[in-house]
Amino acid sequence: MTKWMRFALIAVLVVVAALLPLFLPDLTFYVQMVLAAVVVTGLALFMGFAGQASLGQGAFVAAGALTVAVTTVELHWPPLLALACAPLVAAGFAFVVGLPLLRLRGHYLAFGTLALLLIVQTLVSTVPFLGGGVGISGIPALGVGELVIPDQIGYAYVALAALAVTLLVSRNLVSSRFGRAVRALAGSESAAESAGVDVVRTKLGIFSIAAAFAGLAGGISAFFIPYVSGESFPAVVSFTYVIMAVIGGLGTLWGGVIGAVLVSLLAQGLTTLSASPGLPTTAGPILQYAAYAAVLILALIFLPRGILPSVSSAIARRRARAPGTLTALAAEQPVEAE
């Protein structure tokens, strides 16, 4: 794909994305899809470059959402300040937690991040400051002083702006010096180490950045749906983020967007299908679960690199075998001689 084709494609995408909110009657789905893309962009980078799975990314979404909820409702901070703090708090939380946690690898890290999510859930459900058993409601609308966002469309554009920022940051990150360290990490940790890359710090960095994106998304969603409780971050949503990341393509810039869009559209399509006569009302969520899962399984078995094969294989070709690394191993063709 030539540079011009790419540019044109992105331009078309941007135009479509920007115009859609004007035509859709209910924007809840759209906003949630875009926010998911924000989260998954970070997750796809982490999973792709650090080569580890995070099953509990919702913990950082929660951190961002809670920052907004607590600071606006209980501390009466201005909304914009609260939103600005959301990614920072999430990143800080990830940094602190990541120091011990990132010593784990493979399935231990996967379960560790999941445990983190559940612990966060418990805290949100019990600690009064964080909402106790009732959650935090009455979050004000996002805005500056008198100028607040009156309706859903405003939030849709805020979400799009956040996504744009996320993508820009990611792109610059990947081509920066830090990005080079991250990419070296993806190839082989020991090789990176001997090349002078501080593996621990690099992993921590990308973990925190992914968390910052998640926190930003969480913060915006706290304004959009002005209620935060322990139920707001179920594990299955974090699993869905992983599914989106895998489908969209780990370690790629657009993987998050592609994965989020595809999986969300799939979900929406199924919901519409389940509303058709003949199916019980509970069919919707069931079919969604089943479909996500089936798609994940099939994708992992047949397309372990995700739906952006050209980009992924280009990155994969530069990778050597590293134990426990997701994409490095997924990119390898199983040699028949075993």
Distance (Å, whole) CA 94 – CA 91: 5
Q: How far is the CB of 286 from another protein (least distance, A)?
A: 5
- Residue 110 or 169: the one with the smaller Cβ distance to another protein is 110
Q: How far is the CB of 108 from another protein (least distance, A)?
A: 5
Q: How far is the CB of 326 from another protein (least distance, A)?
A: 5
Distance (Å, whole) CA 84 – CA 160: 16
Q: How far is the CB of 58 from another protein (least distance, A)?
A: 13
Report whether 263 contacts 292 (CB < 8 A).
yes
Rg from Cα positions in the chain: 20
The contact set with another protein (CB under 8 A) reads 52-53, 55, 100-101, 103-108, 110-112, 114-116, 118-119, 122-123, 125-126, 235-236, 239, 242-243, 246, 282, 285-287, 289-290, 292-294, 296-297, 300-301, 304, 323-324, 326, 329-330, 332-338
For 84, the token pair is 């600005």
Query: DSSP secondary structure string, 94-113?
Result: HHHHHHHHTT--HHHHHHHH
Q: How far is the CB of 16 from another protein (least distance, A)?
A: 30
Q: How far is the CB of 332 from another protein (least distance, A)?
A: 8
- Residue 170 or 238: the one with the smaller Cβ distance to another protein is 238
- Residue 53 or 222: the one with the smaller Cβ distance to another protein is 53
- Residue 114 or 160: the one with the smaller Cβ distance to another protein is 114
- Residue 54 or 166: the one with the smaller Cβ distance to another protein is 54
- Residue 111 or 178: the one with the smaller Cβ distance to another protein is 111
| Three-state secondary structure call for residue 249 | coil
- Residue 19 or 301: the one with the smaller Cβ distance to another protein is 301
- Residue 46 or 239: the one with the smaller Cβ distance to another protein is 239
Q: How far is the CB of 235 from another protein (least distance, A)?
A: 6
- Residue 26 or 338: the one with the smaller Cβ distance to another protein is 338
Q: How far is the CB of 275 from another protein (least distance, A)?
A: 17
Distance (Å, whole) CA 220 – CA 53: 25
| Three-state secondary structure call for residue 148 | strand
Q: How far is the CB of 292 from another protein (least distance, A)?
A: 6
Tokens 């899809």 correspond to 33
